Amino acid sequence: DAGVTQSPTHLIKTRGQHVTLRCSPISGHKSVSWYQQVLGQGPQFIFQYYEKEERGRGNFPDRFSARQFPNYSSELNVNALLLGDSALYLCASNGRGRTTYNSPLHFGNGTRLTVT
């Protein structure tokens, strides 16, 4: 099986712009989660989606939004970019079949976003 894939790998944007990051989960995984990792810190939870519904949201402003498509791929959107949004954005998937209960998270290699 191919792993979690994310695109693009790197992105440079200017303050105030909008960005869309994309993620394809492992085949058969129905749950996708998004994390932000600032340099030198552990990842912070942003969103979790299951079967196209938002199931969880971390402590991030409304400028951050996401959605999941019928094929279980996902997009993370960030509006009105700030310098502090510069980070590695990680997507993860887990769960096969009808449940994601207690199955390990599989992460992609992330999108490195730089805001200037």
Residues that bind other proteins (CB under 8 A): 4, 31, 33, 35, 40-45, 48, 50, 55-56, 58, 90, 92, 94-95, 99-110, 112
Q: Which runs of E-coded beta strand occur in 14-116?
A: 19-24, 31-37, 44-50, 53-57, 64-68, 74-78, 87-94, 106-107, 111-115
The angle subtended at Cα 53 by Cα 83 and Cα 79, nearest 5°, is: 20
Residues facing 69 on adjacent strands:
none
Q: What's the min distance (Å) between Cβ of 86 and other proteins? A: 14
Nearer to other proteins, 22 or 112 (CB): 112
Smallest separation, CB 75 to other proteins (Å): 18
Nearer to other proteins by Cβ, of 8 and 16: the residue is 8
Which residue type, as a one-letter code, is found at position 62?
D
Nearer to other proteins, 19 or 48 (CB): 48
- On whether the CB atoms of residues 105 and 45 are closer than 8 A, the answer is no
CB of 40 to other proteins, least distance (A): 8
**CB nearer other proteins, residue 76 or residue 108:** 108
Q: Where are the alpha helices (DSSP H) in the chain?
A: none
Least distance between other proteins and beta carbon 61 (Å) = 18
